[in-house]
């Protein structure tokens, strides 16, 4: 992991960062909140086809840049379930506490870069709710079941709320 001194520019290599398995996804903390002087968190998300979290809210604002694949970003607007689609090269902005999710609608693994501000809520969730990888695989291992009670406890602790799916 990179280290930062006051006013120093850091380079985070492609293999740097703490990686956590959250469900079938890998989330790598590329720039933890402490390295941005508390301003934001930068993550890389590798998602299998069909993968993505359930509809939820959290306090941090979030911006996703689609690096690889095609994603759908469901939300609720004016009481209606709607979705925005985004492909490689496109960016999706999600205000804090807005109901949202994402789903990889492609046929192969997709990759997102996310910036969350302030991000401390979600960093805490990933660290406490996820399974830390000590050696980074190229793709998430689907043979280990998520620890749902741990994930739900971390979600509650850090202000995440899960919403019912569309009926």
The residue ranges of every structural domain in the chain are 18-136
Is the whole-model pTM more than 0.95?
no
12-33 average pLDDT score: 92
Please check the confidence at residue 163 and state whether its pLDDT lies above 70.
Answer: yes
Q: Give the full edge-to-edge strand order of the sheet including 103-104.
A: 80-87, 70-77, 103-104
- How far is Cα 4 from Cα 122, in angstroms, rounded to an integer? 21
**Residue 45, pLDDT score:** 97
Question: 84-117: per-residue pLDDT in tens?
Answer: 999 999 999 999 999 999 999 999 999 999 999 9
CATH superfamily, domain 18-136, is: Jelly Rolls (2.60.120.10)
- Mean of the per-residue pLDDT values for the chain? 90
- How far is Cα 156 from Cα 96, in angstroms, rounded to an integer? 16
Residue 36 phi, psi (nearest 5)? -110, 20
């Amino acid at each position: 992991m990179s280290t930062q001194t006051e006013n120093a520019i850091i380079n985070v290599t492609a293999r740097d960062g703490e990686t956590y398995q959250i469900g079938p996804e890998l989330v790598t903390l590329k720039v933890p909140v402490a390295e941005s002087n508390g301003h934001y968190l930068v993550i890389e998300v590798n998602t299998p086809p069909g993968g993505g979290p359930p509809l939820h809210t959290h306090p941090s604002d979030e911006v996703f840049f689609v690096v690889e694949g095609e994603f759908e970003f469901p939300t609720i607007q004016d009481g209606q379930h709607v979705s925005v689609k985004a492909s490689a090269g496109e960016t999706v902005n999600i205000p804090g506490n807005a109901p949202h999710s994402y789903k990889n609608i492609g046929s192969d693994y997709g990759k997102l870069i996310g910036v969350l501000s302030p991000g401390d809520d979600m960093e805490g969730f990933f660290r406490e709710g996820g399974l830390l990888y000590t050696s980074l695989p190229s793709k998430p291992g689907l043979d280990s079941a998520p620890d749902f009670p741990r994930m739900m406890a971390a979600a509650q602790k850090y202000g995440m709320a899960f919403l019912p799916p569309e009926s």
